[in-house]
């Protein structure tokens, strides 16, 4: 977790960046952003910050959709490099297959910052101008467990049969994604030390996607015994939580604050849709995956490297280890 001093530094850095962005500098940096898919609601929101004039005033930004196609991604990046880009920011299609992207950036001596989808440390460390900016997902899992446990303490009849054992469903993102892995590790670690005992009834891998979550969860609760025994739901993101809530609502559950049929569910991201689900009382909380801070840090890294300065915990106000940075989460409820 971040120390108070580090948190303060990050906040100070982000506001200083906003101020310097407002005083548009004569020295504009040309940077290009490559997103794995515009169909992903969190990534769509993240991309909007690369268009926010208060953030990008010092940059000339190009934004490209790789449409989940690695070949398209590679050729878009090669083209940007031939057009003398000064910074590549990639949200890679496949984070386990980025060696060639790092190689072409290295050949052109161009900084490359990965955002949201993390390559291995080995790949990052193969080039001293390659960095990763993401979120502290273990913390998100810890917070999900804490919030849910507090819910059961405050609503003792939510433990339907009063046996002190809470039966839950886990809705998972892409299996190899660092956020899926870390959120679930953080969740398990924190659940293990609670007074209630938590038992997983089912894991559903829905790859971050609303429709996949809706279909698979609908099938699961089509069995009345499954629905009857389920006491809470942890979702790795808000989009999948939305799909699950849709399926629950078709069964008359989670229709609003005063609804007796209610299964507590918690998401991650706090996208605008996620916040609406919380505001309407369909979902108990979400955890803010701070896309704005991640975007600002990615740009700060590009400018530091272009100025020949070092990228470290001091220059960024956030711990940098193995060329990676993890922005903390906050609770939205």
Question: Considering beta carbons, is residue 129 or 177 the nearer one to ligand BGC?
Answer: 177
Question: Considering beta carbons, is residue 101 or 305 the nearer one to ligand BGC?
Answer: 101
Cβ atoms of 113 and 87 within 8 Å: the answer is: yes
Question: Considering beta carbons, is residue 242 or 317 the nearer one to ligand BGC?
Answer: 242
123 sits near ligand BGC (criterion: CB under 6 A)? no
Among 45, 179, 231, 290, interactor with ligand BGC by CB under 6 A: 179
CB of residue 37 to ligand BGC, shortest distance in Å: 8
42 sits near ligand BGC (criterion: CB under 6 A)? yes
Question: Considering beta carbons, is residue 117 or 167 the nearer one to ligand BGC?
Answer: 117
206 sits near ligand BGC (criterion: CB under 6 A)? no
- Which segment (20-28, 35-43, 161-169, 195-203) binds ligand BGC by CB under 6 A? 35-43
Q: What are phi and psi of 200, to 5 degrees?
A: -85, 120
Among 34, 208, 326, 329, interactor with ligand BGC by CB under 6 A: 208
Q: What would you report as the CA-atom Rg of the chain, rounded to the nearest whole angstrom?
A: 21
* Residue 56, token pair as written in the block: 């990008």
235 sits near ligand BGC (criterion: CB under 6 A)? no
CB of residue 53 to ligand BGC, shortest distance in Å: 25
CB of residue 180 to ligand BGC, shortest distance in Å: 8
289 sits near ligand BGC (criterion: CB under 6 A)? yes
In the beta sheet, which residues pair with residue 171?
204, 235
> In this structure, are strands 112-115 and 165-172 parallel, antiparallel, or unpaired?
unpaired
Question: Considering beta carbons, is residue 149 or 174 the nearer one to ligand BGC?
Answer: 174
Question: Considering beta carbons, is residue 167 or 288 the nearer one to ligand BGC?
Answer: 288
Question: Considering beta carbons, is residue 239 or 296 the nearer one to ligand BGC?
Answer: 239
Cβ atoms of 129 and 112 within 8 Å: the answer is: yes
Sole residue written with tokens 């906040």:
11
117 sits near ligand BGC (criterion: CB under 6 A)? yes
CB of residue 301 to ligand BGC, shortest distance in Å: 18
- Which segment (39-47, 149-157, 253-261, 317-325) binds ligand BGC by CB under 6 A? 39-47
Query: CA distances (Å), 147 to each of 142, 243, 248, 271, 332, in order?
Result: 9, 21, 21, 18, 11
Residues in the chain: 333
237 sits near ligand BGC (criterion: CB under 6 A)? yes
Strands, E assignment, the chain: 29-35, 59-65, 87-90, 112-115, 130-135, 165-172, 197-205, 232-235, 265-266, 286-288, 324-327, 330-332
Q: What are phi and psi of 205, to 5 degrees?
A: -90, 110
Q: What are phi and psi of 75, to 5 degrees?
A: -75, -30
269 sits near ligand BGC (criterion: CB under 6 A)? yes
Half-sphere CA count of 268, side-chain side, radius 13 A: 32
* Residue 225, token pair as written in the block: 């015994």
Binding site for ligand BGC (CB under 6 A): 40, 42-43, 116-117, 177, 179, 208, 237, 239, 268-269, 289
């Amino acid at each position: 977790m971040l120390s108070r001093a580090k948190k303060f530094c990050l906040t100070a850095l982000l506001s200083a960046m906003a101020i310097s962005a407002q005083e548009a500098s004569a020295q504009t940096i040309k940077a290009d952003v490559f997103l794995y898919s515009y169909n992903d609601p969190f990534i769509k929101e993240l991309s909007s910050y690369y268009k926010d004039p208060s953030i990008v005033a010092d940059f000339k930004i190009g934004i490209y959709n790789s449409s989940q196609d690695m070949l398209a991604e590679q050729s878009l990046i090669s083209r940007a490099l031939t057009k003398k880009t000064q910074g590549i920011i990639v949200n890679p299609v496949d984070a386990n297959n980025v060696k060639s992207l790092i190689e072409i950036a290295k050949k052109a001596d161009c900084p490359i910052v990965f955002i949201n989808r993390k390559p291995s440390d080995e790949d990052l460390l193969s080039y001293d101008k390659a960095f990763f900016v993401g979120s502290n997902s273990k913390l998100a899992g810890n917070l999900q467990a804490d919030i849910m446990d507090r819910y059961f303490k405050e609503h003792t009849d939510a433990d339907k049969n009063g046996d002190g054992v809470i039966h839950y469903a886990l809705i998972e993102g892409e299996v190899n994604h660092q956020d899926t892995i870390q959120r679930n590790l953080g969740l398990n670690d924190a659940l293990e030390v609670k007074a209630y005992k938590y038992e997983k009834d089912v894991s559903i891998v829905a790859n971050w996607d609303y429709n996949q979550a809706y279909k698979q969860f609908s099938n699961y609760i089509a069995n009345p015994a499954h629905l009857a025994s389920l006491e809470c739901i942890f979702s790795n993101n808000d989009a999948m939580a939305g799909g699950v809530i849709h399926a629950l609502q078709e069964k008359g559950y989670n229709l609003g604050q005063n609804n007796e049929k209610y299964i507590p569910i918690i998401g991650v991201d706090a996208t605008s849709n996620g916040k609406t689900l919380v505001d309407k009382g369909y979902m108990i909380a979400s955890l803010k995956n701070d896309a704005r801070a991640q975007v600002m840090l990615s740009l700060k890294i590009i400018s530091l490297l272009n100025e020949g300065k070092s990228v470290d915990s001091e220059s960024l106000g956030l711990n940098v280890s193995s060329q990676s940075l993890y922005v903390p989460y906050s609770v939205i409820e």
